[in-house]
Structure 1
Amino acid sequence: MRFGQAAQSVVLSILRPGGLLSAVQIQRQAQLTGWSTRNALARLQARGLIVAIPYKGCWQISERGRALALTTRAPH
């Protein structure tokens, strides 16, 4: 797995449809460093998989990100 892809996968798995999480909440839940979290958020946003909510400092998974997260989750 390429550098940073693991962090991006963890962030996508944490963001639930309709939910809003701050970068700090994502960082804590994902157990990532601040740098890894910010980098993953920036890359996911650039790919259109998450959306920043202006003036709230929160992130939300996009429809595209939701579709990708569903196809990449391992079966239980």
Structure 2
Amino acid sequence: MACSLGFDSLVDALDFLFWGYEDHELMPQGVYDLFTDKATVYDHAGQFVGGLSLEAIRTIAKEYLNTFKPFANLIRLSDG
């Protein structure tokens, strides 16, 4: 099941993104905001860690989201 998380700030989202990926020895590339269509390259401690452009991050995110569109009616929100 796909899920999404909301954060109060981009800093909180990036912090979650980095540590979640690090636990699985992966490297985050950036964050895509569906509501504003804005991509942000991920940096950790002031250093960029990925090699993708903003447009590449945006394209990958949109393709990923489009993959789940046919199943959107099957996803239920949790109570907590």
The structure with higher relative contact order (CA 8 Å, sep 6+) is 1
Question: Given the two structures, how large is their TM-score scaled by the length of structure 2?
Answer: 0.32
Q: Could you say which structure has the higher helix fraction? A: 1
Higher Rg: 2
